[in-house]
DNA sequence: CTGAAAGCGCTAACAA
DNA sequence: TTGTTAGCGCTTTCAG
């Protein structure tokens, strides 16, 4: 049966050696007699002995080498290019630094068991500002991604979403569009709010109206984009251009358009946000605002690692610039 | 500056109490004098003392409570509904059992640092059978998801993909289709192979030909589905029905169809695989084969947990049945 | 209510 | 080459 209590002592006794020797063969110290090595290994096999990693860490004086990645569990988050890119970046960063990656999928209510994690990365924050607060208060090194945190002394790495939204709006107006609509992201997220704000600002600068009916509150999902598109297309005075706050949504808008015989970009211009590679393979290359998700996430790991090791003591706060990627989904209005 | 070495001893000395007492306030033992509690907490704050979790675990005799989730890092895996559902399920399972979830994104070459993890869950296996082998050999409890492993004595939880492919094929033939094509999944994965096999079997049973041109090797991505669809639609004798090995691919087929003025299901029937909710919101409800991804993953955590705790000693091998979900994307052929 | 002391399971000087 | 003996930092009896 299973004995959970086989310890190094049992092995030592049964093999007639000291625990030190057992430890040596465990750690492959080369100065051990071959015969003994064999004997010990045999016993280890017989007893199915597995060294206790916790004890090893303690004895070795190993600092905590795990980073927790806290990701809000709201429906759909995982389906987004956004979350996925972050995960890839974080995975990559951890791999490079040989850190363990611990996942916390949270709805923001649970107190967040830090457990092994010596540092925390929050993928955006929605309902879980209190968790960030608690972590900071406890002195756990942490960093928030894609959220410019003003009221808390915590590190963050964020994309300038206001600028991004502004770029999108500006590009559309520069093409000559006057009737420009937008599908917002989840307005619970700062990114959603900021992209909308930047977009509005761009229109304002050109003194272009953006009536209520031209602003549809989405949530980054294809589903909401479909509703939005159907709404826009049914308007008496439909827009000639649409800014979708994510590529997924932009792609869905294009789908709906084509289903209705509306040509992109001839009849309607569509610009997205993300630079999701999926935008390359549709019927028409998607013009979009690129944000360095992968890089940002990888960088986040590096920063938290420095925070953990004490190499960096101050909060680091960095805002990155998005880029306009011009492909084929936007053109001058035909009218 | 940062002192990494503040230990419970420092706190005890500075607060003029024993380490035992400090430990007590740390663990909120109620029988401590209020004044002392305050004093100790003050010192803890001043010193920014954080108890060492490793030491706590050792002293408390806590077993390893982390499960490692090993996920192949091939491009696109994260974008799939598949991986995402597994992650959700695993996250949920870990939450319920209060286990830590450690992520390993691997290309199969690295030796896989088990580190904290006391058990391992492999999300499918492609290049990383050796890793599974190594883990088994080391005696680490592990389980493979969605892969029926024959040559290794390891636990698995899998969906019967042959049956699933067969159901899809059968359903299409039962509607009267004779010209049926398929877009396979990644044929590096067992799921991809099996769905194709089941599909072929179903056609064979009805003595329906499936010419080479009707089998397009995809990789679960929308991109590959687009290529496939364009290929099929350009055929002299295009199929009247298509089985796509994932819903994402099926959805893309529908998109391409609509772009080309081909009606679904009037002109072409499309059936997918997964039961991705995205299939509900398109222009036409997607008929599909449902597999219990979330449940399977959550269950996997439970099994590994039992394996770790010794409640379960045998390998557990379970094959689950998929379901046919009929919506609107399939109909009888018009010709 | 508080403290001394014995571990938790393992590693790492230091001897032998 | 192998064993002895301190710890690693904290929890937990068991006295006081």
pLDDT tens readout for residues B14-24: 999 999 999 99
**What local confidence, expressed as pLDDT, does residue B215 receive?**
98
**Overall domain count for chain A:** 3
Whether the CB-CB separation of A151 and A173 falls below 8 Å is answered with no
Q: Does residue A278 sit in the same domain as residue A232? A: yes
Mean pLDDT on B66-87: 76
Q: What is the CA A163 to chain-centroid distance, rounded? A: 20
Task: Return the SS3 of B87.
Answer: helix
Residue B102: its H or E element: strand B100-106
- Distance between the alpha carbon (CA) of B17 and the C1' atom of C1, Å: 12
Bridge partners of A103, per DSSP, are: A69, B101
Residue A121: its H or E element: strand A119-123
Q: Does residue A301 sit in the same domain as residue A279? A: no
Q: What is the CA A124 to chain-centroid distance, rounded? A: 8
For residue A190, give every residue at least 6 positions away whose Cβ sits within 8 Å of its Cβ, in sequence order, or none.
A124, A146, A147, A148, A161
Q: Which of A41, A51, A53 best probes binding to B when mutated, by most B CB atoms within 10 angstroms?
A: A53
Q: Does residue B88 sit in the same domain as residue B76? A: yes
Q: Does residue B186 sit in the same domain as residue B277? A: yes
CA distance B258 to B45: 64
The structure tokens 């019967």 sit at B160
Mean pLDDT on B271-296: 92
Q: Does residue A262 sit in the same domain as residue A315? A: no
Q: Domain for residue A332, yes or no?
A: no
| Domain span at A297 | 67-159+293-321
pLDDT tens readout for residues A156-199: 999 999 999 999 999 999 999 999 999 999 998 899 999 999 99
Query: Among positive and negative, which fits the CA dihedral B305, B311, B317, B321?
Result: negative
The residue that leads in pLDDT, B83 or A208, is: A208
Task: Return the SS3 of A159.
Answer: strand
**What local confidence, expressed as pLDDT, does residue B1 receive?**
40
Is any Cβ of chain A less than 8 angstroms from the Cβ of B335? no
Mean pLDDT on A311-318: 87
Structure tokens at A110: 């649970």
| pLDDT confidence bin for B79, thresholds 50/70/90 | low
**What local confidence, expressed as pLDDT, does residue A2 receive?**
46
Neighbour tally for B174: CB within 10 Å: 12
Whether the CB-CB separation of A300 and A158 falls below 8 Å is answered with no
CA distance B264 to A166: 39
pLDDT tens readout for residues A16-27: 999 999 999 998
Structure tokens at B96: 């319920």
Q: Domain for residue B326, yes or no?
A: no
Measured CA angle at A18 (ends A16, A22), to 5 deg: 95
Q: Does residue B123 sit in the same domain as residue B165? A: no
Q: Domain for residue A148, yes or no?
A: yes
CA distance B67 to B89: 13
Is any Cβ of chain B less than 8 angstroms from the Cβ of A46? no
Mean pLDDT on A212-234: 95
Q: Domain for residue A334, yes or no?
A: no
Mean pLDDT, chain A, integer: 89
Neighbour tally for A204: CB within 10 Å: 12
Neighbour tally for A266: CB within 10 Å: 12
**What local confidence, expressed as pLDDT, does residue A264 receive?**
94
Instruction: Please report how many Cα atoms fall inside a 13 Å half-sphere around the Cα of residue A284, on the Cβ side.
Output: 27
Task: Return the SS3 of A319.
Answer: strand
**What local confidence, expressed as pLDDT, does residue A178 receive?**
96
CA distance B283 to B251: 10
Is any Cβ of chain A less than 8 angstroms from the Cβ of B74? no
Name chain A contacts of B100, Cβ cutoff 8 Å. 102, 113, 115-116
Q: Is A320 left (phi over 0), alpha (psi -120 to 50) or beta?
A: beta
Peptide bond into B265 cis (omega under 30): yes
Question: CATH code at B13?
Answer: 1.10.260.40
**What local confidence, expressed as pLDDT, does residue A282 receive?**
81
Q: Does residue B302 sit in the same domain as residue B315? A: yes
Q: Domain for residue B329, yes or no?
A: no
Q: What are phi and psi of A254, to 5 degrees?
A: -60, -40
Q: Does residue A140 sit in the same domain as residue A223? A: no
Q: What are phi and psi of B95, to 5 degrees?
A: -60, -50
Structure tokens at A122: 């929050």
Whether the CB-CB separation of A330 and A172 falls below 8 Å is answered with yes
Range with the poorest average pLDDT among A255-269, B27-41, B89-103: B89-103
Whether the CB-CB separation of A18 and A36 falls below 8 Å is answered with no
By Cβ distance, the residue of B100, B139, B283 closest to A102 is B100
Q: Is the pLDDT of residue B27 over 50?
A: yes
Nearest to A247 by CA among A270, A264, A216, A217: A270
Question: Would the CB atoms of A98 and B113 count as touching at under 8 Å?
Answer: yes
Order of all β-strands in the sheet with B100-106: A317-320, A155-159, A142-145, A119-123, A66-72, A100-106, B100-106, B66-72, B119-123, B142-145, B155-159, B317-320
Name chain B contacts of A113, Cβ cutoff 8 Å. 98, 100
Mean pLDDT, chain B, integer: 89
Name chain A contacts of B114, Cβ cutoff 8 Å. 53
Question: Would strands A100-106 and B100-106 be described as parallel, antiparallel, or unpaired?
Answer: antiparallel
Q: Domain for residue A329, yes or no?
A: no
Neighbour tally for A49: CB within 10 Å: 20
Name chain A contacts of B115, Cβ cutoff 8 Å. 53, 65, 100
Range with the poorest average pLDDT among A201-205, A318-322, B59-63, B330-334: B59-63
**What local confidence, expressed as pLDDT, does residue B2 receive?**
46
Range with the poorest average pLDDT among A92-106, A136-150, A321-335: A92-106
Mean pLDDT on A28-39: 91
Q: Is the pLDDT of residue A107 over 70?
A: no
For residue B228, give every residue at least 6 positions away whose Cβ sits within 8 Å of its Cβ, in sequence order, or none.
B183, B216, B218, B244, B249, B253
Range with the poorest average pLDDT among A64-78, A209-223, B157-171, B197-211: A64-78
Q: Between the CA of residue B12 and those of B17, B60, B311, what are the distances in Å?
A: 5, 20, 41
A62 touches strand C (CB under 7 A): no
CA distance B285 to B263: 13
Q: Is the pLDDT of residue A1 over 50?
A: no
Q: Domain for residue B221, yes or no?
A: yes
Range with the poorest average pLDDT among A275-284, B248-257, B323-332: A275-284
- Which of A274-283, A294-303, B124-133 reaches the highest mean pLDDT? A294-303
Q: Between the CA of residue A256 and those of A216, A224, A259, A270, B85, what are the distances in Å?
A: 15, 12, 5, 12, 26
Q: CA-nearest residue of chain A to B278?
A: A223
Neighbour tally for A327: CB within 10 Å: 17
In percent, how much of chain A has pLDDT > 70?
A: 94
Whether the CB-CB separation of A142 and A135 falls below 8 Å is answered with yes
Whether the CB-CB separation of A15 and A40 falls below 8 Å is answered with yes
pLDDT tens readout for residues B304-325: 998 887 788 789 999 999 999 9
DSSP letter at A79 equals G
Buried b (16+ CB within 10 A) or exposed e, A170-187: bbbbebebebbbbbbbbe
Peptide bond into A274 cis (omega under 30): no
Neighbour tally for A201: CB within 10 Å: 15
Q: Domain for residue A326, yes or no?
A: no
**What local confidence, expressed as pLDDT, does residue B135 receive?**
85
Whether the CB-CB separation of A238 and A179 falls below 8 Å is answered with yes
Mean pLDDT on B274-279: 90
Structure tokens at B34: 């209020």
CA distance A243 to B8: 56
Range with the poorest average pLDDT among A275-279, B38-42, B127-131, B244-248: B127-131
Q: Does residue B182 sit in the same domain as residue B241? A: yes
Nearest to A127 by CA among A117, A139, A112, A142: A112
Q: Does residue B277 sit in the same domain as residue B169? A: yes
A170-209 residues touching B, CB cutoff 8 A: none
Is any Cβ of chain B less than 8 angstroms from the Cβ of A230? no
Q: What are phi and psi of B105, to 5 degrees?
A: -100, 120
Q: Does residue A169 sit in the same domain as residue A219? A: yes
Question: Would the CB atoms of A140 and B105 count as touching at under 8 Å?
Answer: no
Is any Cβ of chain B less than 8 angstroms from the Cβ of A259? yes
Q: Does residue A39 sit in the same domain as residue A82? A: no
Question: CATH code at A300?
Answer: 3.40.50.2300
């Amino acid at each position: 049966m299973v004995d959970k209590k086989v310890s190094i002592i049992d092995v030592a006794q049964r093999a007639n050696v000291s625990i030190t020797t057992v430890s040596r063969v465990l750690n492959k110290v080369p100065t051990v007699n071959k015969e003994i090595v064999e004997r010990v290994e045999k016993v280890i096999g017989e007893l199915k002995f597995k060294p206790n990693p916790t004890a090893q860490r303690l004895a070795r004086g190993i600092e905590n080498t795990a980073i927790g990645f806290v990701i809000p569990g709201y429906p759909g988050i995982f389906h987004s290019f956004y979350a996925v890119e972050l995960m890839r970046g974080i995975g990559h960063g951890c791999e490079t630094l040989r850190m363990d990656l611990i996942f916390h999928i949270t709805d923001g209510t649970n107190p967040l068991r830090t457990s092994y994690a010596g540092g925390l990365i929050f993928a955006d924050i929605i309902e879980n500002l209190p968790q960030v607060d608690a972590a900071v208060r406890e002195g756990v090194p942490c960093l928030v991604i894609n959220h410019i945190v003003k009221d808390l002394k915590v590190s963050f790495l964020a994309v300038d979403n206001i600028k991004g939204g502004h770029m999108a709006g500006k590009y559309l107006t520069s093409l000559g569009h006057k009737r420009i609509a937008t599908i917002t992201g989840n307005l619970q997220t700062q990114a959603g709010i900021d992209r909308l704000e930047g977009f509005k600002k761009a229109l304002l600068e050109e003194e272009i109206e953006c009536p209520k009916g031209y602003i549809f509150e989405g949530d980054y999902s294809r589903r909401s984009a479909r509703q939005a598109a159907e709404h826009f297309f049914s308007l008496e005075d439909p827009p000639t251009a649409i800014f979708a706050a994510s590529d997924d949504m932009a792609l869905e808008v294009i789908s709906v358009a084509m289903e209705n015989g509306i040509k992109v970009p001839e009849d309607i211009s569509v610009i997205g946000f993300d630079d999701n590679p999926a935008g390359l393979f549709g019927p028409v290359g998607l013009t979009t605002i690129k944000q360095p998700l992968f890089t940002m996430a990888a960088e986040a790991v590096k920063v938290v690692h420095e925070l953990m090791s004490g190499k960096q003591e101050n909060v680091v706060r960095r805002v990155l610039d998005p880029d306009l990627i011009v492909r084929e989904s936007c053109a001058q209005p035909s009218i």
